[in-house]
Structure 1
Amino acid sequence: MKQLFLKKEGNPRLLLFFSGWGADDHLFDRPVAEGYDYMLCFDYRNLDFDFTLLDGYREIRLLAWSMGVWAAGCVLAWHDEYSFSLKLAVNGTPYPIHDTKGIPVAIFKGTLDQFSPATLVRFRRRICGTTEQVKEFLSHHPYRPEEELGEELACLWQTAAKEYADSLKWDKAIVGMRDKIYPPVNQYRAWGDTPVCEVDCDHYDAGLFDGLIGGREEIWTKP
């Protein structure tokens, strides 16, 4: 796993963001809330995590999107020593490759088996949904090599389809009602008693992430 500070100014608070498969700093290099440092986690070919990078922060906000919800759960579940003020999951579940609680198994396996530049283009269109979101995504699109993305996808198949991460207590889950990657009905099944907020958006929504990273409190705390 890569851990990259997009802002590190010695602030006492940290936004810790576990992004999804195929992401990098280009996609989520956005203004962060005043008073926060900002660390982005991506590339889940392994889940090695340097906890010393969290030392010294009095408050940590955890944000996770898509496959990052599972990755955050795997990494952080048994680390109660860190002061997480809020833990928010967006369009993902602790059961990422699962027929009733995540991405259906056949769909994920089909993407892996047929992975190619054309498959990647289709996937990115599906996560965006609208032409406007596709244009916005392309203006920030990740620059990681396609070979690397294929390796990450294969590693996720070997781990995320077999090891679930349901022991981390999330404060809220945002469910995009037009999500074509994690079906909304599956997200609801996965979250059980966790409070859920419905949002009229696709799997990826630039405006939503602008607000979350920028610290719009009504998005973080709205029931």
Structure 2
Amino acid sequence: MEIRWLKQTASPEAIVVFGGWAVGPEVFDHLAGDQDILFVSDYRDLAADLPDLSGYEKVSLLAWSFGVAAYGHWQRARADLFQRRIAVNGSLTPVDREAGIPPVVMQKTIETLSAASYQRFITRVFGAGQPEAVIDIAARQEELRAVAARGAAPDPGFDHVWISEKDKIFPAANLKRAWAGHRITSLAAPHMPFAGFSSWQELLA
């Protein structure tokens, strides 16, 4: 796991973001808010602990894409830090034909990962063409294999689930099955929906 502060200003409130696969924190740069922001990525292993957050009056969790299952696995062995948990376009069963990314798609992504296929992936994530991006192919293949090998994560108790109807990574129908019984809000957005939000508070609603 890679853990880094995106913003640290001694705010009384912090948000911990478990990000997605091979997409950096820049997708959150435009979001307004006074909260301190801690960003977690790289799920090849889940052994790392977060920094001490006990000084905050409130700590919220936002998990996106593969960050949803990664957080579920990570939290299982640790004391609960969060007053609110939000899931965005991800599943506790990340590789699943009915409730996640179909296994055949995951396997093909691993086997054929290249600079060109990653660029196509990023285009699907954003729903539009993106500037050329750089990827560490071996590391990201290792991460995908680790995600698949962990399997289903326990439900840590998400308070709200955002699901994008135009998601080309996690099929929206699969996510709706995965989160049946939870509070769900649908978005007319791609897998990366954050451009449709202006503040962290909107996402944590």
How far does the alpha carbon of each residue in 1:134-171 deviate from its partner, in whole angstroms, 9 at most, with x for none?
A: 34xx3xx8655333222222322322xx3x11321000
Q: Which of the residues 156, 163, 169 maps onto 1:168?
A: 156
> Residue 118 of structure 2 corresponds to which residue in structure 1?
120
More helix by share: 1
Q: How many residues align?
A: 205
- Which position in structure 1 is the counterpart of 2:182? 194
Q: Structure 2 vs 1, CA of residues 57 and 104 (structure 1 numbering), >3 Å: closer, same or farther?
A: same
| CA RMSD, 1 decimal | 2.1
Show the counterpart of 1:153: 144
State the alpha-carbon separation in 2 of the partners of residues 105 and 51 from structure 1.
31
Structure 2 counterpart of 1:200, which letter?
Answer: A
State the Cα deviation string for residues 13-69 of structure 1 (Å, max 9, x = none). 1111000111234444445511x1110000111112314432322211110110001
TM-score by length of 2: 0.90
The corresponding residue for 1:185 is 173
Distance in 1 between residues matched to 2:133 and 2:17, nearest whole Å = 16
Cα shift readout 1:70-98 (whole Å, capped 9, x = no counterpart): 1111112454542x232111100101000
Percent of residue pairs identical: 28
* Counterpart residue type for residue 177 of structure 2: R
Alignment CA distance shift 1:31-1:172 (3 Å): closer
Equivalent residue for 1:61?
60
Partner AA of 1:108 in structure 2: M
- The code of the aligned residue for 1:173 comes to V
What are the equivalent positions in structure 2 for 1:23-172 lying under 5 Å apart?
23-34=23-34, 36-77=35-76, 79-82=78-81, 84-129=82-127, 131=128, 134-135=129-130, 138=131, 144-159=135-150, 162=151, 164-172=152-160
- Stretches of structure 2 lacking an aligned partner (at least 5 in a row): none
Deviations 1:91-126 (A, max 9, x none): 001010001010001000111111111111111111
The answer for unaligned runs of 5 or more in structure 1 is none
User: How does the TM-score come out when normalised to structure 1?
Assistant: 0.83
Following the alignment from structure 1 to structure 2, what is the Cα–Cα distance between the partners of residues 42 and 144? 14
CA, structure 1 residues 107+8, in 2 after alignment: closer, same or farther (shift >3 Å)? same
